[in-house]
Each structure stands twice: as C-alpha cells, then as structure tokens.
Structure 1
Amino acid sequence: MAACLDIDSLHLALRAGRKRAARLILRGIDLHIAAGEVHALVGESGAGKSMVGRTVLGITPPGIEVVAGSVRFQGLDWLGLTAAQRRVHLGRDIALIPQDPLTALNPGHTIGTQINDVLRLHLGLDDKQATARAIELLDSVQVRSPATVVRQYPHELSGGMRQRVLIAIAFSCKPKLIIADEPTTALDVTVQREVLRLLRDLQRDEGAAVLFITHNLGLVAKLCDSVSVIHSGRIVEHGDVRSIIDTPRTPYTRSLFAATPRYDRPADTLKPIAEEVTDKLWASAHSYDQSWFAARDTASTAARRAETPHV
C-alpha cells in the first residue's frame, strides 16, 4: 500500500530555563502508516504517544519544538509547511478525534453549528446544504433523531452521543488520516464497544488511515492492524497486531500484557511492571540523550569551523 504518514527519526525537545537548555521528549520516532491502515501507538501515561499525534497536528505546547527528523503526509513535507498552509489540510485531509468530547465541543454553540462550520470551511457548502449534510452525518454515526440533535447543545447529550458527534465531524470531509487520541477513555465499557465498532466500520467504508493512540491493549486487538509500543519517547517494539500479541519480543511489551486484566481469567493476579524493566528503559533513554546531544554539538562545531574563513 502507498504510504499515508511517514515519520522518520523524529526528535522533539522541551526548551526550559534561562539558557533554554533542551530536553528530549521524543527520541528518534519512526512510524509509517499505509493508506487504509489502522495503526496503534501504545504506551503508559507520559510515554510520549499523544505528543506524536500533537506533532503531526501542529498543536504542541509552547516551548516544545522539533529538533530533528521529518514528517511526511502523502509525500508532502509536513514540517516544512507554514501554520497557515497546514490549516488548509487540518480537518479536511487530517482529522482528530480527541479524548474528551465534553471539552472538545464548544458549550456555547449547537451541535449543528459546530458541524456546519467544518462543512462550510472545507467543502464550501451554504448554511442550508451544511445543515442537511450535518443531519446525514449524525445519522451515519447512529445518532437518534439527528434533526433534533443539530439544534441541541453539547451538555444536552450523553457522553456516547457527544463522542459520535466528534466522529461525525472527523469523517465529514472524508480525510485521508484520522488521529484518534484515546477516543473511548471517557466512556463506559458498553458504549465504548459500540463506538469502536462504529469507528472501525466508518474507517473501512471510507478507507482512511488511522493513528489510534491508546494505553488499552484490549482495544488494539479488536481494532488495529499494526502496533508500535512506546516508552520514554522511543519505539521499543513494532509489528502486526497478531504477532505482537502472540509473541511479544521485548520484556516491556510482555510486562504490559501481564499487567492487563483478563475477563476470561478473573482469578488471575495482576502483575505490575517490574521496576528493573522500566529502570533499564529510562537509563537507556538517558544514555541516548547524552550521545545524541554530544553528536549534535560536534556536528555544529564542525560546521562553524568549516564556515570560518581562513586567514
């Protein structure tokens, strides 16, 4: 399949303090998602998985910047675009399904207004056309009484209904890539299963690629084609879902599975991830940082010397 998203050796750093010393957050991330593929990025809280999605979307917090690497979307040098150029694609070609639907939707505007804004901006529809299309979209995500819902406000809907609205917005312009950042975390188990089934069905119908960011390995098995496991801002294991589940290669991935509750084995004792496993990963990350900054400083010094004219 043709590549939809290519991330090569991505390094993200936090600038802090008076001297603006850099501290790495992402360390050489390589991620390649084919058109129509659902790829999971799995890790614990703080592993850096959401920051990968934020980098693609261009919404990293202040003080955080890309210091090395590349991101290409359908062959386009994504990081080389200006913010204005990226905005043309965001919402139309790349869409986001965020984690919390209540905070993602504007409480002061109706559901219809918020869907219509996207349709008018990216598809050039007028108000009447946009409203008709909004009702169709809500119906496609199995929202009951969509003609009524377009006139309602977010607080009038349940969590599951709000998440369906966000899915409808994400798919409204038939994007090539959807970044789903833990989209079912705020939902109960029953609604979670319904939303996942809906997301998978729409993805297959539209042929969109999906970067599915999660800490839930059970969801990965049900929804995704391939998976990357991340810790301390580095990919520690990558492969198709079945091979990772059946034969995880690294101690960390095996520990993640061992720490996952099993509904079919309720009597099993949960096994927390051993400190020696994570300690080794953090020590390796620290060593990587020292080597990377040393190599960068050496290259920078050599470049300055090459530019200095000889007397």
Structure 2
Amino acid sequence: MKFGTFYLPIITSLMFTSVSAMAQIIPFNFWKSPGGGGCPGVYEVTSGTTWVVPTGWTNNNSIEVIGAGGAGTSSSSNGGGGGGGGGYSKSEDVTSLVPGSTVTVKIGAGGVAAAGSATAGGDTYICNSTSNCASISGTAVITGAKGGGAGTTSTAGSGAGGDETLGVGDIKYSGGAGGASPNNTGPPGSGGGGAAGPNGAGAIGGKGAATNFGAGGGGGSGGGTAGSVGGSYGGAGGKNFAGTGAGTGTSNDGGPGSNGGGGGGGYAARNGGAGGDGTDITPTAGAGGGGGGANGSAKVGGAGGKYGGGGGGSAGTSTSKGGNGGAGVIVIKCY
C-alpha cells in the first residue's frame, strides 16, 4: 500500500481491516501531511494561509481548531495575571469543501509578552473558499475558535479564555481564563489558562500568593483541573483530562507540564514552568496547558503549551515578563 512516497507492507490478514482499525495500527504521524494529499488521512495545519483540499475528499470527515493563547503580563508592583487559553471548535461531516480546491486558513499567533505588557492570542479558522474570510465572522468560515485574552493586573480577573459563543462549529468549548493578579506589594505572578479541547473547556490558571512568594500554577487543558494557588511554594499546574501531566510547584523553578497539563509556578526569584503540549486530538497535536507564574527580577512566566495554552504572569522588577501564549492549530481528518 502506498502513502505519499512511503510504502507500508501489510500482512494478508490486515488487507480487509476497516479504516478506523487501520488508524489504530498506523501512527498518526505517518498519515500527517500539510495538504494536497489524499484521503483517508490526517492533516495538521500549523502555518500558511491556504490549504488544498485532498483528493478523495468525502463527507465523512472532521475539522478541529484551537485558538491561540494569550500572553501573561508582568508588574513590578502588584503581580501579573496569566493569559487566557484558546477556545476549541469542531465540525463534522463538512459538505462544502471541494476536492482539489484551495481554501483560506488562519492560524492564530500566540500572544507575545514584553516587560510590563502582553498581547492577546489570535483566532484560528478555516474557510470553504479564499473570499469572505477576513475574520472568524466571515460568511465562508466553516470552523473557527477564538484566541485567549492578554494577561492583566486586575484582581477581578485576567486574560479571558477564547469564548465558545463566538466560535464556529458543531461542538465548541471555551478556553480557561488566566489567574488574576493577587494585587499585593511584591507578589508573584499567576498561571495562564489551559486551552479548550475535545474533552471540554480549558481550566483556569492559579492565582499567585497574596502573602507569600509562590506563583500560581497554569491551568490544565480541556476537561482538566485548575492550576493551584501559590503559597509557601509555587502552585502545581492543573491536570489534563486524564488526571495527569501537572507540572510541579516547588521552591525552585516551576516544573513543566506534559500532555496538556499546566506548568508549575515558580517560587521567590524563579521562573514559571511551561505548559504541556497537547496530545488529545492526535499524538502530536491537541490542547496545551497554561504556563506557570514567575516571581523575581528578570524572571519569566511559563510559556503556554501547544496548542493554545495561555502564558503565565510574572512580577518583581521592570525586567520581568510573562510567558508567551501557544499558537493555534487546525487538524483535519478524512476517512
């Protein structure tokens, strides 16, 4: 059997195996292509502005998208809040794509952190043409998810998660909000929110300690748990939907999350742990965990995990900064 330039020998007993069973035998990475190939297949779109609908495209398909995460912010006086996680949308059995045609895609860019500032994550979407597709509200958009908001220094809440009500698709979930600023003299930063995914909404980032030096942990990805509030140590990151992947919060740098778990918060003059990259859509793509918060001079909040995790906030001096948000992604499966 030929797949692109690869040949896969399959024993006789597998020749009549169903496509779904074959997908369990052949790793998703083997099927992965940037577009223009055939069906069945799995396509992870992480860059570019157009995508070629594969030959053999049928109405038996799914399209999943995750918006980009917002960056965490920093403050030398009251602690920086975490960025929001990107939202998630899924469309099934799409009928408006024509095999061989070129359509517009938009991959949301992760929010960018600088000393004392942060930007929001971009929206991610795919259209059924190359026109009427300038934004997620365009009439040609068939699946789209909102990006997460930038971290703030508000005690009422930080970066909002990507809003499911503004997404496009059959199934939609909101990203987790970043942890709010603790608003205390010399406090640590708060964790970023987890991205939403196929298992549910992203979880909120943990708040930095109000009376101690522990930064908040990043929120877990879709269907996971919230990051822990900082205290005498950094807060642990939130778990993924399977109850694992949380980064540790200790008296050192925050531990990195894994498989969509949130990064741990740093303690005192320490950096935040990065959010874990998601694996809940394919083995190499899914909802990312939020980055852990940081505390101290020139310390950096943890970056949001791929895809769509919110960056952790930071605090300490004017040279401290939050973590960047994770970029968005489109995953297309045709059967």
Same fold judged by TM-score > 0.5? Answer: no
Q: TM-score range by the shorter chain?
A: under 0.3
Bigger Rg, structure 1 or 2: 1
TM-score by length of 2: 0.26
